[in-house]
Amino acid sequence: MSKVAIVTGSNRGIGFGIVKALCQRFDGVVYLTSRDELRGKEAVAKLKYMGLKPEYHQLDIADKSSVEKFRDHIKEKYEGIDILFNNAAVLDTEVDSRTYEDAKRVIDNNYRSIFYLKELIYPLIKNNGRVINISSDCGHLSNIRNEYWIKRLSKPDLTEADVNEFVEWYLESVKNGTYNCDDIADEGTIPSYRVTKVALAALTMVHQRELESKNISVNLIQPGLVRTDLTHGVGFFSVDEAVETPLYLALDAPPTLKGAYVWYDKKVIDWYDSKSDCYFKLSSMSS
């Protein structure tokens, strides 16, 4: 039976680059997935033109019925999943976005969707499989400046409920107008994206513990500032350069590397160091 690798949100940007690199290096089937079928099939056509052979399936991570259909498809065709890249994500509409609708959109898309994947897709991951969560410098704990949440998210026995409460606390504060930008680094810019990326990192620690019995690794990669649509083409790295470390985590990293927050240069960074300088600075976009 073939090995299987899946990349969410891979019709463009970093996800597309990961599919392309996996097609070149991974000894198995690679799934390019997208929420929009037309955009996905156009992306597949580009790779086929290069002589590569990805499989395609529609997958909107924020739509439970779409995740169910994809789960059924994989279950029917394969023994399980070897590699899963949780890549799909969206950004706040403005750097100082403060509306409830926008915050909820980002949270539904980037954070609540992970629970659909956990429920429906994670059970298909084989023993010794690898989950790579695409993080960001926005996902380091030092993005949070609220001492209560720093302490709670740092607990060794952290649970999904703790992380949910953190996200709800933020969403409620936006809803009732009490959001305090001092609770988030860099004057609280792109707050919803930062909250979802910190929450994804915290969930990574929880899921690593839960998946330990199957020897599955769950790691985070901070790909650096990459020239994609998300950054309006601003960045230090091309997509092809940026996918090197995500591919390393999927194919080359030692299986003992678990629950790690990995910087784009492959260095493992202490995610819990809330006083570190690893947080995202908006000024890095213009330097």
Ligand X SMILES: NC(=O)c1ccc[n+]([C@@H]2O[C@H](COP(=O)([O-])OP(=O)(O)OC[C@H]3O[C@@H](n4cnc5c(N)ncnc54)[C@H](OP(=O)(O)O)[C@@H]3O)[C@@H](O)[C@H]2O)c1
Least CB distance from residue 125 to ligand X, whole Å?
19
Which of the following is catalytic: 31, 170, 193, 264?
Answer: 193
- Taking the least distance from each CB to ligand X, the nearer of 29 and 61 is 61
Helices (H), 56-157: 64-77, 100-107, 113-120, 147-153
The DSSP bridge partners found for residue 84 are: 6, 131
Query: Toward ligand X, which CB reaches closer, 157 or 229?
Result: 229
Nearer to ligand X, 144 or 243 (CB): 243
Rounded least distance, CB 11 to ligand X, Å: 4
User: Is 193 an active-site residue?
Assistant: yes
Residue ranges binding ligand X (CB under 6 A): 8-9, 11-15, 34-36, 39, 59-62, 87-90, 109, 134, 136, 223, 225-226, 228-231, 235
69 DSSP assignment: H
Sheet containing 4-7: give its strands across. 55-58, 29-34, 4-7, 81-86, 125-134, 217-221, 261-262, 268-269
Q: Which amino acid is at 203?
A: L
Cα–Cα dist 282/163, whole Å:
25
Q: Which helix (H) or strand (E) holds 189?
A: none
Structure tokens at 198: 């910190």
Residues in the chain: 287
Q: How far is the CB of 107 from ligand X (least distance, A)?
A: 12
Q: List the structure tokens of 156.
A: 């060794």
Residue 69 or 126 with smaller CB distance to ligand X: 69
What are the residue numbers of the active site? 193
